[in-house]
Structure 1
Amino acid sequence: MNFDHLRALAAVIDEGTFEAAADRLHISPSAVSQRIKALEKSVGQVVVRRAAPCTPTDAGSALLRLARQVQLLESEAREALGAGSAGPTATPVAVNADSLATWFLPVLADAAGWADTTLDLHVEDQDHSSRLLRQGDVLGAVTADPVPVSGCRAVRLGAMRYVPAAAPGLRDRFAGGAGPDWSAMPVLQFNSKDKLQRSFLASHGVARFPPMHTVPSSEAFVAAVRAGLGWGMVPELQVGSDFDDGRLVLLDAHAHHDVELYWQSWTLQSERLVRLTAAVRRASRQLLHQPPS
């Protein structure tokens, strides 16, 4: 299999169009097209859906994983041979928004010192991030899936704890004799995939869901809770001193939801992957809930 053809595939998927891929590879769009057609001929299958943006077929996803592995190992081999590299190697990683806003930040601080690597972060829900590994879009992912994707290893990181919180004024407006009126008090969700609030309400026997606002930003979600737009399951790591200062109140002192997180990455003998994995595990040990020893 021709490495130039694999590079063309990665460029087309990363850039979204044949023209943009040509600019990245410093060749003509016609040459990119010829390389993709040659790749498709060699495997006997279509590997790119010609759309806007271009996306890989199932066969293309398998080849895309190979292309990224080749790029990573080729860069490290050049460095080992003293040939230098063409520049920092892009390292695509999937991480959920709440992790990125909290415990994952020390990983970014570590990466700031890696002159040979750039991070390409893909923000994806932890329940869906392993899909990006299967597609070949990323080489590592923070995920809630403990079962390793084919060709990957999985390491338990710890638990992200969420607690039900609200602004005091909102809680007081909907206070009842036996606690909040859950069926009336407005609630927030991160996006349509966010089931934390719905699960909490179901566990409290709420049959009719209250008005629900959508705030698809981790930082803005907590800000919206502080502003009284609605209550929400917020990351314990993100509220800081809000409970002590009275900016937020805990709606149920006995309720919390722990999301177990795992780090999945390719089983490659790569110094960059080893370094990245070490940084992720170090940060998780410092900030995520760990099982009793």
Structure 2
Amino acid sequence: MLDYKLVEALAAVVAEGGFERAGRVLGLTQSAVSQRVKQLEETAGRVLLVRSSPPRPTQAGREVIALHRRVRHLENDLWAGLGRGRGGMPTLAVGINADSLATWFFPALDTFLDREPMLLDLRVDDQARTHALLRDGEVAGCVSDRATPVQGCAVHLLGVMRYRLYATPSFREQWFPAGVTREAMGRAPLLIFNRKDAMHTALLSQALGGEPASYAAWYLPSSERFAPVIGAGRACGLLPDEQAAAATASGELADLLPGHVHTVCLFWHCWNFDAGILGRFTEALIAGARSLLDRGD
């Protein structure tokens, strides 16, 4: 039988990125946290934590932390069902991509969050990688572009986001006077979210019959700043229709590759719990997303 005080110490070290910060969260000294993790490893008979900077769990450690999160989730639902709060509002860890967070996510949940106060622990990553957060037990649910469910989890289609390549009319005249070609695309400043981002690769390969040999990349890991930077005429870049619609209608932005769109299907993956806070969150998220996103029909 696991001692959950010890497991909680391990989870806190990983979540907070160190023993000292974990101690502050748990109300313990750094030494006491270290002793609890060491005792847990002795009980498990294997190393659960790599003492790097920041500390990171081993595969066995991830499995223990995943179990801990599931148990805490079930405990929260139990106490809520008995009408007894425990430690304030429940916390739900969710993996989400930056574009969803910047556009439809909170509008989809506004009514639910007004009705059912809770704390969200949002882990932001590329939509192709949030799946791994759920698989490793770091979150209870995630928005992902993968349709294949994680073992023991449910999956639901939320809708699609459509991306097009936008720039201001003056940027188009400066950088693409003869049209958008591979050569011109390789010279024009192009916004890219980060080095994991490959959406521009998919769209340009489709539209131009192949990628430019290289890019004049402007890395900008902020979905909220993409539209303002493109709107200022400093670069071109991919935007979801939700962010570009108003500026396109007013003529402030132009679609550089009409007829070419990169479509991302979004799915909600979560632990297979129909009841409790996760079940209610799931119902609200699905309904809200489907009211705001295209279903892709």
Map of 1:34 onto structure 2: 35
Identical amino acids, percent of aligned pairs = 37
Q: 2:235 aligns with which of 227, 230, 238?
A: 230
CA contact (8 A) 2:95 2:143 kept: yes
Q: Structure 1 residues 211-220 or 79-88, which shifts more?
A: 79-88
Quick one: distance in 1 between partners of 2:245 and 2:188? Answer: 24
Map of 2:60 onto structure 1: 59
Pick closer, same or farther for the CA change 1:54–1:107 going to 2, 3 Å.
Answer: farther
Q: Runs of at least 4 residues of structure 1 off by over 6 A?
A: none
Quick one: distance in 2 between partners of 1:82 and 1:177? Answer: 68
CA contact (8 A) 1:190 1:214 kept: yes
In the superposition, the TM-score normalised over structure 1's length comes to 0.92
2:221 is matched by which residue type in structure 1?
Answer: P
Map of 2:284 onto structure 1: 279
Give the aligned length.
292
Map of 1:23 onto structure 2: 24
In the superposition, the TM-score normalised over structure 2's length comes to 0.91
CA contact (8 A) 2:17 2:55 kept: yes
Q: Does structure 1 residue 184 correspond to structure 2 residue 187?
A: yes
CA contact (8 A) 1:61 1:134 kept: no
Following TM superposition, by how much is the alpha carbon of 1:115 offset from its aligned partner in structure 2, in angstroms? 5.3
Quick one: distance in 2 between partners of 1:176 and 1:83? Answer: 67
CA contact (8 A) 1:222 1:239 kept: yes
CA contact (8 A) 1:187 1:197 kept: no
Map of 1:13 onto structure 2: 14
State the SS of the aligned residue for 1:193: coil
Quick one: distance in 1 between partners of 2:179 and 2:137? Answer: 51
Map of 1:4 onto structure 2: 5
Aligned residues: CA RMSD: 1.9
Quick one: distance in 1 between partners of 2:274 and 2:234? Answer: 49
Q: Which runs of 5+ in 1 are unaligned?
A: none
Map of 1:83 onto structure 2: 84
CA contact (8 A) 1:87 1:116 kept: no
Pick closer, same or farther for the CA change 1:178–1:167 going to 2, 3 Å.
Answer: closer
1:267 is matched by which residue type in structure 2?
Answer: N
Map of 1:171 onto structure 2: 172
Pick closer, same or farther for the CA change 1:47–1:226 going to 2, 3 Å.
Answer: same
Quick one: distance in 1 between partners of 2:55 and 2:147? Answer: 30
2:23 is matched by which residue type in structure 1?
Answer: A
